[in-house]
Homo-oligomer: A and B are copies of this chain.
């Protein structure tokens, strides 16, 4: 076969694969934002069919031969096509190691498991979810074994979300963080009794909060013709194309900060996807490169920008305009201190910047033990509660506010959580470099401006490349240096020492 013909077939194949991803992604999105309660059975059936079809599309001898041919001739390919071939070759190899019946059975299990988790969380009923979670863990362990029989299975799962990440790296990473941050967390806890911000618990009409979300999208320079906000239990971002990105949020009448920081966090994910290169559209590379780099963007906007004094000062007048009653007697400094109030708490997604990585540490340790088999899903709630006591010093009142709080495990995402913490650490290092290049805080402060210059800086170094670069290249493009977690701890210590006047 001629290379040119092979490339043509290969490109068409990616469009086809993308179509299945689009359809399945849409069904997923709908299930979490709009679907009626009882729709999970027909949904499971449809996902079963589509995932099997999509599997067969890639894992078949003809296509494997085509990809092998391209890999053999990779030096004759342009860079993008070469990266596509490499990426797809890796995926086929991985997916092909899972027998098709198991693959399809797993897809249906996940659909059921996410549905049951949702009900279980509402009803504080871990027991109803446990048998499904046990199956998910079993599948994850088996998949890891299929992919790399000689490797520690949890390392294999970590690598899926952040190439090269291992328990060895993370053990050291978390140990450093614990050593440096726990003393600070304790000092702050001792001071916290005097910090109270009742305006954060006042009633904020949801319709008004919806309008405020739209304002936040403008501030972040998110293109609303290509991105909309849906509503869901547990916020996430999904993209079907750079022309169609969905943010989701969860409005709580008595906690407006929850939505505010959800939108900024998910907005960071959205900016990444909205700004991948045009030439990648329809290609297998038209996504963010890894979970770690993705979370670096969401947490960069949520925390480093969104919880900075410059940003809270910027949005303060708008909050007063939208919620005049609630903001009576509240100063810009109150807002800044409220969004940075650090205290050990129950819910990860609402944790402050400083204690956040402790929540991740709990999950990291539990995942390791679940996947190794050292801990059973039956024992999980007790182990969860023990670790919250140990690392955060708080008592978990029930499973809804404990082990059932996150959707990840129900969806089979084991090895994902650490990327939140790693992403936060990337973000701190990226900031240090960005500050040398552009006037970050001048841009954030500009009352009539949006964050476009910051987005532009990130687009040039990370976003536009999609999956053409590796996570380490993304960091190197920004920082001209390898990943260094000390930026993260330095940043946190400096910020919180100042806020709490220690």
Contact = CB atoms under 8 A, between A and B. Distances in A.
Interface string A30-43: 10011111110111
Interface residues of A, number: 44
A243 interface: yes
A224 interface: yes
Interface of A: 15-16, 18-20, 22-24, 26-27, 29-30, 33-39, 41-43, 45-46, 48-50, 53, 207, 223-228, 230, 240-241, 243-246, 281-282
Contacts of A34: 33-34, 228, 230, 246
Q: Which of A18, A36, A228 has the most chain B CB within a 10 Å cutoff?
A: A36
Contact of A36 (B18, B49, B244, B282): B244
Contacts of A48: 19
Given A36-B243, A42-B244, 9 more contacts: A19-B45, A20-B49, A23-B27, A26-B30, A35-B228, A37-B225, A38-B243, A42-B241, A43-B240
Nearest to A51: B19
A42 B30 contact: no
Given A43-B244, A244-B42, A50 B23 contact: yes
Given A26-B27, A34-B34, A36-B224, A42 B243 contact: yes
Contact of A228 (B22, B29, B36, B227): B36
A226 B230 CA distance: 20
A15 B241 contact: no
Contacts of A207: 207
B49 A16 contact: yes
A372 B487 CA distance: 73
A332 to B, nearest CB: 31
A281 B41 CA distance: 11
A269 to B, nearest CB: 15
Contacts of A22: 27, 42-43, 46
A41 to B, nearest CB: 6
Contacts of A41: 241, 243
B39 A244 contact: yes
A60 B42 CA distance: 26
Contacts of A42: 22, 240-241, 243-244, 281-282
Contacts of A36: 224-228, 243-245
Greatest chain B CB density within 10 A among A19, A34, A282 is at: A19
Nearest to A30: B26
Contacts of A228: 34-36
Contacts of A227: 36
Contacts of A39: 226, 240-241, 243-244
A12 to B, nearest CB: 10
A207 B251 CA distance: 14
Contacts of A16: 49
Given A49-B15, A50-B19, A53-B53, A38 B226 contact: yes
The 6 A-B pairs of least Cβ separation, nearest first, read A42-B241, A19-B49, A39-B244, A23-B23, A19-B46, A22-B46
A15 B243 contact: no
Nearest to A40: B243
Nearest to A43: B244
A50 to B, nearest CB: 6
Contacts of A20: 49
10 contacts: A15-B45, A15-B49, A22-B43, A22-B46, A23-B27, A34-B228, A36-B245, A39-B243, A42-B281, A45-B282
A300 B362 CA distance: 58
A38 B282 contact: no
A170 B27 CA distance: 41
